[in-house]
A = this chain, B = another copy of it.
Amino acid sequence: MPRSPQQNQAIREKRIQQILEATLKVYRERGYHRAEIGEIARVAGLGRGLIYYYFKDKQDVFLTLIRRSLEEWKRYAEAILQLDLPAGERLKMYLKEFCHLCLEYPDMTYFHQSVTRDLNIIFPDQVEEVMGYYEEGMWKPVRRVIREGVESGELREISPDMAERVFFSVVMGAFAPDYTIAENQVDDLVEAALYGLIPERK
């Protein structure tokens, strides 16, 4: 008695989820090269061969994980960044939300930090493609708002590129693997990112 197409589709989606979640866990502990497919299968509670039923190869698993999670984040981010508020306010909200999610999903946080840094190693032949995903899901939404802020005079007069860079650096640095800020430090961090370390200029 074969399954209905709907049942099959549901199974497919569920399996893919299992695999991607297991990938995240294993990657966190082992990094890309030592994240064995067999271990991912084991953690997902599936047979090893099934991964190759749903994905072309190891890279494809990771590529899919990146693509899916960025699409989701993009929707989330744009909901915040398109609110009807001053640019600075929206950035602050975004920053805080970002921090809270990082704290809630540390494996995902580590994954993206690490992967972005090692793109050319993990995807030597698809660097452009993957960078495109990040550009689209992570940078572009914020970039627009920063530009608005700089143009409207709300943000300091440095180049938007630089502002963007500083903005993200502070955030990413707050979730380094050997040091993660605590929930109650988020506000301070956001302050520091937006207003700097030194209070006044002469």
Contacts and interface: CB of A to CB of B under 8 A. Distances in A.
State the number of copies, please: 4
Contacts of A119: 177-178
A39 to B, nearest CB: 14
A31 B115 CA distance: 12
Contacts of A176: 116-117
Nearest to A191: B158
Dominant secondary structure at the A interface: helix
Interface stretch (A16-24, A62-70, A194-202): A194-202
Interface stretch (A74-82, A100-108, A167-175): A167-175
Nearest to A27: B121
Contacts of A120: 29, 177
A154 interface: yes
B194 A198 contact: yes
28 contacts: A31-B33, A32-B33, A34-B121, A88-B198, A116-B176, A116-B178, A117-B117, A117-B176, A117-B177, A119-B178, A131-B178, A155-B199, A162-B192, A165-B173, A165-B181, A166-B173, A166-B193, A167-B197, A168-B173, A169-B172, A169-B174, A173-B173, A192-B196, A193-B196, A193-B197, A195-B196, A195-B198, A195-B201
Given A31-B118, A154-B198, 8 more contacts: A30-B121, A156-B192, A165-B179, A166-B189, A173-B173, A192-B196, A195-B196, A196-B197
